[in-house]
Each structure stands twice: as C-alpha cells, then as structure tokens.
Chain A
C-alpha cells in the first residue's frame, strides 16, 4: 500500500503517455487516486479518458510512464493488479446468449470466487440493480437500460477494491440513471470508484474529487466546490443577445454594477459571476436598455463544472 503526505493512494499514474501515430492521446499524465474515494475523470469525447483507464486496466500498452495499483507495478504484477480492479466498459459488453445470473456467476468464477459466494453475490447485485426479476432471462432480451445495469454488475461481481466505470450512465433512461447513481454513491468509502464521464452534472453529484482532462492533458484536479470557486464567486448570470454589438458591450463592461464580474462572451452569450445577482439585476437591465442592447434570453443559475471547463478551455464541454 502506498502512502503519500496527503493520505493513502491506491492508484498512482506517473508521466503516462500514449500516442497513436502522430496523435498524442495522453500527454505525461500524473495523477494519484485515493483509496475509497469516488474520483470523477471528466473531459469531452476524445479527451483521453478512455485511453487512460484502458492503460490502468492493462488493456492498452503505454508508451512511457508508470502505473502503480495498491503499490504494485502494473507491468510487473499485472496478475495481482487486475484482481483488484473491476472494469465497466463504455460499450455494453455482455454475453447475449447467457442469462443475467449465468454471466454474473461465470464472471465471478473467472476471478476464482467460490461457487456459493459467487451465486450469493450475483443475486445480491441483481437485486440492488433492479434486475432480480430478469435473472433467468437471456441478456439479449433485456432493454438497453437493463443491459447497462448488467454491464455495471459484471464489473463488480468479484468484489474488487477498485471499480472503474467508463461512462456508466451513457444511454440510461432516467429511472436507471437514478438507480445507478444511488448504487455508485453507496460504494463511497468501501470501494475506490473511478468514474469517467463527459456529463458534468453527474460528476458533480457523485465525485469527491474531479480531474478535468482535455487533449490528453490533466487541466485541473480538485474537489468540485474548489474547482467551481476558481471560476469566480457567487452565481452565474447568462444573457443571450444578438451578434454584432461589440462596441456597446465594451461600454457595458466598463460600467457594470458592483459585485458583478464579466466572465466571457461567445457567440452572443454573455456570462457574469457575482453574489446576490437579483439585487443588481434591475440596474443591469437598465444599462442594457440605455445601450440599446436587445436581450433574447436570460438565466440565473448556480456555477457548474461546465463553467470551470469553459474557463479552462474556452469552449463548452459537449461541443
């Protein structure tokens, strides 16, 4: 087990690098993940999240760098390391011709879990994930949401210390989404969960610490609240105006109400941050009217991780 000055780490990535030809998918990524935490690995599609976790699982070979799992080198002790991990791939990966119970039993047995323990664990998971009634049904007869839940159950049936979930909620219906979210939340403290997602809200709800990755580089790593504080204090005011009013906007920026800070302006979207926005709103709208700036839409909301991502990269996450 590895100790650092900040506590216990179960996964340590040191200067990890992976490229596909000229494309560098992961650039010198260094990261420590604490034992028992839910860690959110956030980034847009193609940011390098799946490549990173594939390297952690030993499915991809890294170009350079080192991975340590519970103090063991992944390269030298792969057999020992993989016993500690459970992996739920982004795609639904189930055996279509096996029943839910059969494939959970089978997967557990591949990890040398005794037969009776495997059966009990399989039944327990089917119950937790709302698949009890489908235990004797072939996977190919399940709905997409059910298959997703089975996909997650297969990753954890052997009771690993580390659970790696690659976009576990992609394609889930709202009911399944809540079920999966609650299940992941229930694992906090017992298991180390690495959750890759491009869904900021989901990461915000679940993860204790969040690492944001883009173009293969780790941009920030902190708790959700600390990351959001980096954007600015208070809430966010978003105002949509028509394009081509740069000169007026510049005059507005120089004459903003107190406690309101202009963050950015992209494609007609203005973002401001500040405390007690409703109190200064009438003053702000008056300034818009005087400058003859036409407002198309307006929203006041709490800060999100997406604001953090936009501040860091200058673009929205889902684009």
Chain B
C-alpha cells in the first residue's frame, strides 16, 4: 500500500510549509476573539433613556404614590435567564437631550412617562374609567436593537399597568423558553458558525497540498509512479482531517476560554467535524482541479471560500429559497453546501445539547454531498492534472 508514505509526506509537508497551515488553523480562533469583543458573552443589553413626567397621585387614604418611578424600578431590575440586566436605563429630563442621544446611537430607545400616569392607574384601580395612562416610546428604525428594546419595554410596561391597576385585561403575555438550557448570547449563537469557519479554512490547506505538486512540477513524479489518483487523494484527505480537527479544536477551546460552555455531546461534535472535513476536502479537490498554481488558489480560490463562508448561514441569516420538500423538511438552495448542514448540526449539538441521534439528517446530508463532490472532484482532477494529454 502506498497510502502510508503518501500520508506521511502530506503531513510532513503541511507542517513544514507552516504559513498556510498557520493561516488555516488560527483564522477561526481569531474570529472567535473578534466576535467575543464585539458581542460579549452575556445576554444582549439594550440602552433605554427614560423621561419621567409623572406627577404622582394621592390615594383615598392620603398616601402619595409615583407609579412612574415604580415602573422605572421594574424596568431596571428586569433580567434574562442568566441573571444579566436586559434594559440598561438612564434618566433624562428633557426630550431634546434624549433625542440627541438616540441620534448619536448612545441609546436604543426613549421611553416617556406622561404626567397623569399615576393618576390614571389609580383611577382605574378605584373603579373609575378615565382616559388610559400614556407611555410614549421613540426609536430609530435604522437601529437593529430598537425593535427588541421596544418589545421588552412595552411588555414590561403593560405587565406593570395590569398589576398596578388590578384590572385583568383581555390579553396576557406568557413567554416560555423552549430550550432547556441557558439563554443564548449573540456570541453563543456565533460559535457553531465559527466552528464551521474553522473547517472551511481546510479548503486552502487541502487544495494547496494538491495544487503545489502541479505548481512545482512534482506531479510528474507522482503520475509516473505506481500510485493511483485515489490513493493520493485518500492520503491527502486523511492528513487534512487531522488539520481540520486541530483547527476545530483550537476554535472550540478559544470559545471555551472566553466563557462559552455547552452541555452537548463532544463525540457528536467530533463526528460531525470529521464528516465536514471530508466534505470540504471534496470541494477542495474540485477547486484544485480548475487551478494551476498556489497563487491561483490564494486569489481565485477565495471565491468558493466566500461562498461557503457567507452562504452556509454561519455568519448571518440568509434568505431561504426552497427547492423542494423532503417529507416535512424544506430543501433550500444553500443546502447544496455541506457546510450549511455542518453549522446546523454544530448549532444543535453545542447550543441545544443535542447528541448524535439528533443530527442524523444533517450527517446524512453531509455524507451524500461528500460522496457527490468527491466523485466529481476526482473525475475533474484526474482529467485535468493526472491524465496524458
């Protein structure tokens, strides 16, 4: 068998030509750090400027109340499942000052409590039916945090009014988490995509391992030897799986070092990782088939990498374009990318605590796409680089 010498050579060369390797295995961990600094590990916080014009009211037994202050206190105390504050409150006296802060994006929402807020709630509680208490909110639709900040604020205000007035309205919100785990921060949500990114970087090391032989002319020696193309590609794949797992491991450990934790199955993560490595190597073989030099790979080769990176759904949500339905599942255009399924599987495992049996569909899809792309890749590569012309 010529697999072992081919495998050994591929490993030695990859580690000695360390520049591409370093780029490949540090790219995703670097992004993890970047995302951590951008989003932080905690629940997302929304900044709210509150202007309290409430004059308060006096109850029948002569007590002074200020429902506006009580509402602000409730908003300030509100926290997520992980105990982190959701709405960070700052007080403003004038609307002009609050709007200035909204424009320069130092707050996401303005809440104005009107003068008769306490009186209206008190009247309702004592059985009268005056005009309803008014709380105004202001925001910038161009700010993606505005809607969430308003939703939380409105919900808390409505709940507060119901409790204070003692009136049961026709509507009640009951929010329940479907996940048995902790609430997820934006950073948590990015980690599965970043694991996918770690594996996508394999495209460069795997394709470079192949295309370098063409670039340097050493492919001639391989072609005239007893080695078969399949033996070569299998040995290169094995060496690349090691690099892929190394890259994935470094990315995961970087996330863990920055506070990320999961109760998902590490075995499932590794199995999905290995399958995903093979899928990306299959794509690399196709990429290497159409290129001639390592320079081509580092320039033209970035295009398929960007397709994987941005259309697999790991970096940001992309619109779904359905192709057909498979049972209850809709098969979308980006499902032809194996990394779409990899990132979905990583998301289920890491953020929803799934095990291998929960990601059978994703693993099946990765395997089918790997076989398909390897078949096409080997055919293209053999035809382009290995056969006499």
Interface residues on B, range: 20 to 34
Whether a CB of chain B sits under 8 angstroms from the CB of A82 is: yes
Chain A's nearest CB lies how many Å from the CB of B191? Answer: 34
Q: Is the CB of A98 within 8 A of B217?
A: no
Contacts of B226 in A (CB 8 A): 79, 82-83, 110-112
Whether a CB of chain B sits under 8 angstroms from the CB of A61 is: yes
Q: Is the CB of B2 within 8 A of A112?
A: yes
- A87-102 Cβ-contact flags toward B at 8 Å (1 or 0): 1010101111110001
Q: Which residue, of A91, A107, A138, has the highest number of chain B Cβ atoms within 10 A? A: A107
Q: Apart from A58-B223, A61-B388, what 4 extra A-B contacts exist at CB < 8 Å? A: A59-B220, A93-B217, A95-B9, A106-B9
Q: Assuming the A-B contacts A82-B226, A93-B217, are A109 and B388 also in contact, with contact meaning beta carbons closer than 8 angstroms in the complex? A: no
> In the docked arrangement, what's the CA distance between A85 and B388, Å?
16
Whether a CB of chain A sits under 8 angstroms from the CB of B227 is: yes
Q: Is the CB of A102 within 8 A of B388?
A: no
Whether a CB of chain A sits under 8 angstroms from the CB of B5 is: yes
The stretch from B10-18, B113-121, B127-135, B248-256 touching chain A is: B10-18
Contacts of B5 in A (CB 8 A): 105-106, 109-110
Q: Is the CB of B218 within 8 A of A93?
A: yes
Contacts of A26 in B (CB 8 A): none
CB < 8 Å A-B pair total: 67
Contacts of A97 in B (CB 8 A): 12-13, 16-17
Chain A's nearest CB lies how many Å from the CB of B146? Answer: 55
Residues on B lying within 8 angstroms of A by beta carbon are 2, 4-6, 8-9, 12-13, 16-17, 216-218, 220-227, 388-389
Which residues of A116-167 are within 8 A (CB) of B?
A: 138, 154
Contacts of A83 in B (CB 8 A): 226
Whether a CB of chain B sits under 8 angstroms from the CB of A57 is: yes
Contacts of A60 in B (CB 8 A): 388-389
Q: Assuming the A-B contacts A95-B218, A96-B216, A110-B2, are A82 and B224 also in contact, with contact meaning beta carbons closer than 8 angstroms in the complex? A: yes
Residues on A lying within 8 angstroms of B by beta carbon are 57-61, 79, 82-83, 85, 87, 89, 91, 93-98, 102, 105-107, 109-112, 138, 154
Contacts of B17 in A (CB 8 A): 97
> In the docked arrangement, what's the CA distance between A94 and B12, Å?
15
Contacts of A59 in B (CB 8 A): 220, 223-224, 388
Give 20 A-B contacts (CB < 8 Å), ordered by A residue: A57-B224, A58-B224, A58-B388, A59-B223, A60-B389, A82-B224, A85-B224, A89-B217, A93-B218, A96-B216, A97-B17, A102-B12, A105-B5, A106-B5, A106-B8, A106-B9, A109-B4, A110-B221, A111-B225, A138-B16
Q: Is the CB of A98 within 8 A of B221?
A: no
Contacts of B12 in A (CB 8 A): 97-98, 102
> In the docked arrangement, what's the CA distance between A110 and B227, Å?
6
Q: Is the CB of A98 within 8 A of B13?
A: yes
Contacts of B16 in A (CB 8 A): 97, 138
Contacts of B217 in A (CB 8 A): 89, 91, 93
